[in-house]
Amino acid sequence: MTPTPNESDWWRQPAKPLHRPAGEAAARRQAQLTKPPGALGRLEAIAIQLASMQGRERPALERAQITVFAGDHGVMAEGVSAFPQAVTGEMVKNFARGGAAISVLAREQGVRLEVVDLGTVNDPGPLDGVIRLRLAPSTANFTSAPAMTESQFEQALAAGRAAVARAAGAGAQLFIAGEMGIGNTTAAAALACGLIGLPAQLMAGPGTGLDAEGVARKAAVIDRALACHAGQLAEPAEALRRLGGFELAAIAGACIACAQKGLPMLVDGFIVTAAALAAVRMQPTVRDWLLFAHASAEPGHGHLLQMLGAQPLIDLNLRLGEGSGAAVALPLLRLACALHNGMATFAEAGVSEKHG
């Protein structure tokens, strides 16, 4: 008999399988549209991929949701960011007032935006559009202790799952996770090193704007953290609990929940990709449900994308986070669907097909 999983083990359940017949039907349709076969390049592959995710020959992306997960980091005590920790809470207020980059990108495209405050040192207080799930003012400093307790880790994963449930309940056809957390490029880099076994030097980058000396200090901090948790990182979930952050764990939970529900996730930059890598290591079937939006300017991002076999859609030198790179790439996915669904076939248009 298969044992009933504990509710706290929900993330061990596999993803919904892709709908191969819908993908095959979409590929046949692409071959009939009035263009030389393959002439729309990766836009064709995207439409086919979305068809097999949505289980329909003609995929649709009218409704999307962006959830920005915010959290502070104990490792900020080590001087790892160009900005002060207070910015995380201040930016939560800015999201709520509609003044952040992601607020503009969501508004401009008619996309639902919500913010989840998982624990900020500078508590912004209750705000419209901000869900308060504060687990603690910040994670612990992971150079000397696990970033999260087991209970905090479970709650953070569940917060990501709950956001996906709200998105699916509101009829979203695509989910974008954003993050806000001063110091979280250190957490993302440490987590990536813990998962992949790469040296800190390859993963530590400027983040919000450290100079070369700052980046070297950051790499040394990550090396100390890896030494502190050595021997405890074989389980990906445990690596995420020890070296991640509240928002990274929530995003990993959201990746897994999207895959289980059959909701495509458009992955943003360095931090979201590190969380997605943790999610794929925790439950490998999640990979099928991830689309990769952009190549971040953060130098470690290329290694993470390579580990995931991912080819990002755009490369605009972005390094903001908040889900902004994914929001900027969203119109490409929408256009891929519009072309796929709206173009005439050779037969419909009376256009002659390729020789042979």
Ligand X SMILES: O=C(O)c1ccc[n+]([C@@H]2O[C@H](COP(=O)([O-])O)[C@@H](O)[C@H]2O)c1
Ligand Y SMILES: Cc1cc2nc[nH]c2cc1C
Buried b (16+ CB within 10 A) or exposed e, 41-65: eebbebbbbbbbbbeebbbebeebb
Q: Which residues bind ligand Y (CB under 6 A)?
A: 83, 87, 91, 180, 208, 320-322
In the complex, least distance from residue 161 CB atom to ligand X, rounded to whole angstroms:
21
Site for ligand X in 101-160 (CB under 6 A): none
Site for ligand X in 47-76 (CB under 6 A): none
Residue 98's identity, in one-letter code, is G
292 touches 267 (CB < 8 A): yes
In the complex, least distance from residue 79 CB atom to ligand X, rounded to whole angstroms:
11
Residue (15 or 180) nearer to ligand X, CB: 180
Site for ligand X in 244-303 (CB under 6 A): 268-271, 296, 298
Choose the contact partner of 283 out of ligand Y, ligand X, none; CB within 5 to 8 A by kind.
Answer: none
In the complex, least distance from residue 200 CB atom to ligand X, rounded to whole angstroms:
14
What is the three-class DSSP state of 265? strand
Q: Which residue has the tokens 């897994």?
A: 256
Choose the contact partner of 15 out of ligand X, ligand Y, none; CB within 5 to 8 A by kind.
Answer: none
Virtual torsion, Cα 104, 110, 112, 118, nearest 10 deg: -10
**Measuring CA to CA, which residue among 310, 261, 328, 255 is closest to residue 108?**
328
Closest residue to ligand X, based on beta-carbon distance: 321
Residue 58 phi/psi, 5° resolution? -115, 95
What is the three-class DSSP state of 67? strand
218 touches 202 (CB < 8 A): no
Choose the contact partner of 81 out of ligand X, ligand Y, none; CB within 5 to 8 A by kind.
Answer: ligand X
Number of neighbours of residue 208 by Cβ within 10 angstroms: 15
Contacts with ligand X, 300-319, as mask; x by CB under 6 A: -------------------x
Q: Which stretch binds ligand X (CB under 6 A): 3-11, 77-85, 135-143, 153-161?
A: 77-85
**Interatomic CA distance for residues 334 and 75, integer angstroms:** 39
Residue (154 or 298) nearer to ligand Y, CB: 298
173 touches 54 (CB < 8 A): yes
Residue (53 or 320) nearer to ligand X, CB: 320
Choose the contact partner of 52 out of ligand Y, ligand X, none; CB within 5 to 8 A by kind.
Answer: none
Choose the contact partner of 298 out of ligand Y, ligand X, none; CB within 5 to 8 A by kind.
Answer: ligand X
**Interatomic CA distance for residues 184 and 141, integer angstroms:** 12
Measure CA 202 to chain center: 21
Interacting residue with ligand X among 101, 179, 245, 260 (CB under 6 A): 179
Q: Quote the longest CA-to-CA distance of the chain.
A: 70
In the complex, least distance from residue 101 CB atom to ligand Y, rounded to whole angstroms:
7
State yes or no: is 298 an active-site residue.
no
Answer yes or no whether residue 184 interacts with ligand X by CB under 6 A. yes
Interacting residue with ligand X among 83, 196, 303, 346 (CB under 6 A): 83
Choose the contact partner of 154 out of ligand X, ligand Y, none; CB within 5 to 8 A by kind.
Answer: none
Residue (84 or 125) nearer to ligand Y, CB: 84
Answer yes or no whether residue 95 interacts with ligand X by CB under 6 A. no
Close Cβ partners of 220 (under 8 Å, ≥ 6 residues apart): 200
**Interatomic CA distance for residues 252 and 274, integer angstroms:** 9
Catalytic residue among 108, 322, 348, 353: 322
Number of neighbours of residue 302 by Cβ within 10 angstroms: 14
Residue (43 or 91) nearer to ligand Y, CB: 91
φ/ψ bin of 345: left (φ > 0), alpha (ψ from -120 to 50), beta (otherwise): beta
Q: Which stretch binds ligand X (CB under 6 A): 5-13, 256-264, 320-328, 343-351?
A: 320-328
Binding site for ligand X (CB under 6 A): 81-83, 179-186, 207-208, 268-271, 296, 298, 319-322
Which residues are tagged catalytic? Answer: 322
